[in-house]
Amino acid sequence: AQSVTQLDSQVPVFEEAPVELRCNYSSSVSVYLFWYVQYPNQGLQLLLKYLSGSTLVESINGFEAEFNKSQTSFHLRKPSVHISDTAEYFCAVSNTGNQFYFGTGTSLTVIP
């Protein structure tokens, strides 16, 4: 089985500051990697994904993540956060069998 580790359970950051949410995974086979965002009292929404190709993937709202195979990491970054980015963020990994494994989540709080 695969596992996903999100090293930070809570990340407070001031508005307009940069942020990095860390994600490491364990797998001996090729994987697909995902970041999901969950706003309060809502379901999860896909933020971005890596399936193949360029190791740097971007979302429409300014987040990016880089797949690093040698370090088995898929850290999420944003150069300047907004209040509206306050949410729970989940890293997930999937094998080719369409099973998904989630990390325990990182709560991002943007401070005005």
Which helix (H) or strand (E) element contains residue 1?
Answer: none
Per DSSP, the residues of 42-103 read S-EEEEEEE-SS-SEEE-TTS-EEEEETTTTEEEEEESS--GGG-EEEEEEEE-TTS-EEE-
Does position 8 interact with other proteins (CB under 8 A)? The reply is: no
Of these, 45, 55, 71, 80, which contacts other proteins (CB under 8 A)?
45
Does position 11 interact with other proteins (CB under 8 A)? The reply is: no
Residue 79 CB, shortest distance to other proteins, in Å, is 26
Q: Which residues bind other proteins (CB under 8 A)?
A: 6, 9, 32, 34, 36, 41-46, 49, 51, 90, 94, 98-105
